[in-house]
Chains A and B, each alone.
Chain A
Amino acid sequence: MDLIRILLSRFFALFRAKRLDADLDEELRAHIELAVEENLKRGMPAQAARTQALRSFGGVTQTRERYRTQREIPLLEMLAQNIRFGLRQMRRAPGFALVALLTLALGIGATTAIFSVVDAVMLKPLPFPTAARLVQVGSLIAATGKGGSASYLDFADLRDENHAFDGMAAFRTGGLIWIGPHEPVRLEGVAVSANLFSLLGTTPALGRSFRPEEDSPAATGGTDPVILSYGLWQREFSSDASVLGRTLQLGNQAYTVVGVMPKGFQFPIQAEPTELWTTLAIDARGGANALTVQRGAHYLDVVGLLKPSVPIQSAEAEMAAIAASLNKLHPENRARTIRLTPLLQSLVGDLGAPLLILMGAVGCVLLIVCANIANLMLARATARRMEIAMRIALGASRGRVLCQLLTESLMLGLIGGGLGIAVAAGLVRVLVRIMPVDIPRLNDAAVDIRLLFFAILVSLLAGILSGLFPALQASKLSLTGSLQKSGRTSGGEDKGSNRLRSSLVVSEVALAVTLLLGTGLLLQSFLHLTKVNPGFNPNHVLTYQLDAPAGMQSDQIPGFYREVVARMTALPGMTSASAAAALPLTGDHVRSSIEIEGQPTPLGSRSQADFNIVEPEFFRTVGTTLVSGRDFTPRDNVKSTPVVIVNRALAGLYFPNQSPIGKHVRPGIGNGYGPGEPPMREIVGVIEDIKQSGPGVEAEPEVYVPFAQCPWDSVFIAVHIATDPEGAVSAARRQVTSLNKNAPIYHVKTLDQYFSDSVAEPRFISLLLSSFATLSVLLACLGIYGVVSYSVLQRTHEIGIRMALGADSGRVVRAVLSKGMVLALIGVTIGLAGSFALVHVLSSLLFGVRATDPLTFAGAAFALLCFAALASYIPARRAAAVNPMTALRND
């Protein structure tokens, strides 16, 4: 009750401040007058009576101040006053304000920008109503923990036998050639199980969703249903609602448009936007060869919707049990196990670590910025000592002074934050542009409400961090000392302030050296990556993808590709051309079981190898060395001996210390030979290992078979062009279209681009870290410079005396220099020790360099000490130039 009464009375007092002030003044005046009257009555002389009255009253100003504090909600009133005063202060020292605001804007801007990326990619919930309960259902090979895709039959069993899920859906990506009103064009498509959209909790904006029975071709008849993306509907059908019911010819298959998804809907969430969705009915065609009837065909991604109360661990346990029973039922397949990952987490994948490291780095930069501002404020507080002492003498309480200084630093923080948001908005756009292309959801990164909130939070934090120490320091000021000393020469309280400034600089240096070290490690690792011999030569190779034209019989396909390759000889500057089912670094790898001659193994227990299909001349075109044996020739076909080329890794693993040429292996894929077990193939050549998954990943055992013995419906064409590969694109396109107008080429890219994309992420991270490290080293040097030159200023008198007594300028320079270097050395030592404990977080990102690489540690330390020396040398020179006469006279 008391509290409420007091608060109410205080609150209303806020609005009557003027009148209440006048009342108080009158009351106090009356008090003094009453006292004077009484003193006069006792016979005191007039002057003495008044002095006595004032003395026994105590400070009138203090009383008034304390009375006001008691009267109102002091914070509100004081805040307004403090802000007005702070603004005046900023106007009076524009240089200080400018430097502080710029530094803060950079620090807050960089932090906010990086956070916006982290937020967009890692934190923002997925845009589905059921997002929180969606999990990725990964089907892994139990022995290796690799894989992740499920076969249709496995998916159906997992879906039907579990009790933990409200539903389970499967999908696979795959482009479709639209043979429409104009040139055939390839659209990004996804084939999904019919229940996918209801699982995600979304419905089409127009038309209907897939019906459960539409997963089977029996229900759809000749034409499958298709749902369009909003973008495709706008672009190709000018947002016309009559598109529903229209028939589209996509590849071999006719489809009926049944729906259009809402604007912005994407599934799966990936960098390349999906343009249409079809059902898995397409994979169920082809009788015994259909993908959906082969338990060994692991080609589907599976998502599940957990029941609301079921924790992911118990669902995973149930899944594992189902998988185990499936393994027992189907021993011909390799044993598999199930791993559940929240869908959001599975999207973030390996990106988590680098993004968090960037976040940590930018946080370090922000801390350095705060330390720097704190340093500036300390220097300012020292310069303002007179003013503060005066305020305390005039009745301001120490708490009041502390509040004033804190308000000023908070104001700096918030204004800096405002500027920082502008910086962040620009920076985000730059980041999105230079970021590696294949990060899902990156394009959504923008400064929004959440980010504003974050920026304000960071600004407040920066304000408090940078203002608290200086304010505490200043409010402890000794009154008489400061007023007497006219605030110029060093006094007792300066020691504390100097120590504080020094420790701030030391921490700046420590943070900067940590960043520098991390950057050094990542840069080295990046350099190592680019220097790795990938086993092929990416220069001057133009590549594109091509699908077998609609309606072409499977036995005609190899001939078609061979014809395309032959047409490439017409390109200017062309030296060789070939085709392959997969190119290095494209991520399109097929894996197959493999059996070695003389080691009969049941199907479920065979080892695996990367599997690729190539035309003759492929290795020459991409610059891979044939170690022994021969390349494929046009004479290798279904009528000749089944042949295979293996890489050095496979040869070393299965045929150690002997020539593998003439030996036999049996890859599990061989569809040129019809149903039944694929043939044993004779090894005719061994090639150098190719780093298929990026320069940092060791090559796996690999087999290559000729196209003529294994038709494949999608292919990469590679053309080595000695002159200008990018200039040959349109000629290549013309050649293919003239051969068959229903075979558009897509994903046109040089092998060089694939290579540079494969190191885009480490390059991007080292680039960003480098800029953060540069900024932090710069700020740390500024800090050292500030502290050293301030100490020179304080010691001008002393230096003058020393020089008058015969110290030469070299000695003075050394003395000043050593002050800066001692700080730097302490900082570097702390930083290195801290880094040593921290660097292991980088390990997963490093290649070819250990996290505790002594050379990098030494290098970072040396670089920082050099910069520190430079930063202290400038004030040292100034100290040496002190004219003893002037220095002494000034006092």
Chain B
Amino acid sequence: MGDKSDVLQGTLDLMVLKTLEAMGPLHGYGVARRIEQVSGNTLSLNQGTIYPALLRLEQRKWIKSAWGVSESNRRAKFYSLSLLGRKQITEEIENWERIATTMARFLEPAKYECAIQRYES
């Protein structure tokens, strides 16, 4: 099915968790806007993809949800970290860093080779 959210899946979950950790209870739109802002709009994220991710986290009982009222007096569903989710964040971060370091190891030599090639041509 190769669409964007699949590639982002693991990272998106962590971003959502970190957002909720930093901001406290937040509705879906808020989570999406916060991620866009933090990423400095470098991430072309369909805001819709946030909802399957939220559901996924909720099914794992890492976050919980409740209907509430927004600043502008609109009924919206608010998400917040559960106890389990708070513990999980540490683990998820470790996971992510492991992957990131591994990826970096793969990418570094490639950069180096590229430079050589450019020099030769």
Contacts and interface: CB of A to CB of B under 8 A. Distances in A.
Contacts of A63: 46, 48-49, 51-52
Nearest to A24: B51
B1 A70 contact: no
Interface string A1-28: 0100110011000000000000110111
B47 A57 contact: yes
A399 interface: yes
B76 A34 contact: yes
Given A6-B60, A34-B70, A58 B49 contact: yes
A476 to B, nearest CB: 13
A59 B48 contact: yes
A322 B56 CA distance: 74
B48 A60 contact: yes
A67 B55 contact: yes
Chain B CB count within 10 A is highest, among A2, A5, A58, A62, for A58
Interface in A26-50: 26-28, 30-31, 33-35, 37-38
A34 B29 contact: yes
A69 B52 CA distance: 9
B88 to A, nearest CB: 10
Contact of B1 (A34, A58, A399): A399
A162 B6 CA distance: 71
A37 B73 CA distance: 12
Contacts of B30: 34
A59 B77 CA distance: 20
Contact of A57 (B27, B48, B74, B77): B48
Contacts of A66: 5, 49, 52
A285 interface: no
Interface string B29-62: 1101100000000000011110110011011110
A58 B56 contact: no
A60 B33 CA distance: 17
B59 A31 contact: no
A6 B77 CA distance: 20
B75 interface: yes
Given A5-B60, A5-B61, A34-B29, A27 B49 contact: no
Contacts of B101: none
B51 A10 contact: no
Main secondary structure of the interface of A (DSSP, over half): helix
Contacts of B60: 2, 5-6
A562 interface: no
Contacts of A37: 72, 74
A591 interface: no
A397 interface: yes
Nearest to A6: B59
A26 B74 CA distance: 11
**Which applies to chain B's interface (DSSP): helix, strand, loop or mixed?**
helix
A56 B43 CA distance: 12
B27 A34 contact: yes
A802 interface: no
Contacts of A391: none
A34 B26 CA distance: 13
A53 to B, nearest CB: 9
Contacts of A9: 58-59
Contact of B75 (A24, A30, A59): A30
A5 B49 CA distance: 22
Interface in A46-84: 56-60, 62-63, 66-67, 69-71
A295 interface: no
Contacts of B32: 31
Interface centre among A2, A9, A30, A60 (most CB of B within 10 A): A30
Interface string B60-89: 110000000010101111000000000000
A5 B61 CA distance: 8
A528 interface: no
A58 B59 contact: no
Contacts of B55: 67, 70-71
A33 B74 contact: yes
B1 A397 contact: yes
B48 A58 contact: yes
Contacts of B51: 24, 27-28, 63, 67
A34 B47 CA distance: 12
Contacts of B49: 58, 63, 66
A172 interface: no
A5 B57 CA distance: 11
A35 B56 contact: no
Which of B1, B52, B61, B70 gathers most chain A CB within 10 Å? B52
B59 A5 contact: yes
B1 A398 contact: yes
A10 B58 CA distance: 11
Contact of A70 (B33, B56, B75): B56
A408 B74 CA distance: 44
A10 B60 CA distance: 11
Given A5-B60, A31-B28, A57-B47, A26 B52 contact: no
Nearest to A33: B74
A26 B30 CA distance: 16
Nearest to A30: B76
A496 to B, nearest CB: 19
A56 B47 contact: yes
Contacts of A56: 46-47
B36 to A, nearest CB: 8
B51 to A, nearest CB: 5
A28 B58 CA distance: 17
A57 B76 CA distance: 16
A399 B32 CA distance: 27
A71 B52 CA distance: 8
Nearest to B30: A34
A819 B70 CA distance: 69
A58 B46 contact: yes
B29 A30 contact: yes
Contacts of B61: 5
A202 B119 CA distance: 93
A38 B48 CA distance: 17
Contacts of A70: 52, 55-56, 59
A517 to B, nearest CB: 46
Given A34-B27, A35-B29, A62 B59 contact: no
Q: Which 6 A-B pairs have the closest CB atoms?
A: A58-B46, A63-B48, A58-B48, A34-B29, A30-B76, A70-B52
27 contacts: A2-B60, A5-B59, A5-B60, A5-B61, A6-B59, A24-B51, A26-B75, A27-B28, A28-B51, A30-B29, A30-B75, A31-B27, A31-B28, A34-B76, A35-B29, A35-B47, A57-B47, A58-B47, A58-B49, A62-B48, A63-B49, A63-B52, A66-B5, A67-B51, A70-B52, A70-B55, A71-B55
Given A34-B27, A34-B29, A66-B52, 13 more contacts: A5-B59, A5-B60, A6-B59, A24-B51, A26-B75, A27-B28, A30-B28, A30-B76, A31-B32, A35-B47, A58-B49, A63-B49, A398-B1
Interface of A: 2, 5-6, 9-10, 23-24, 26-28, 30-31, 33-35, 37-38, 56-60, 62-63, 66-67, 69-71, 397-399
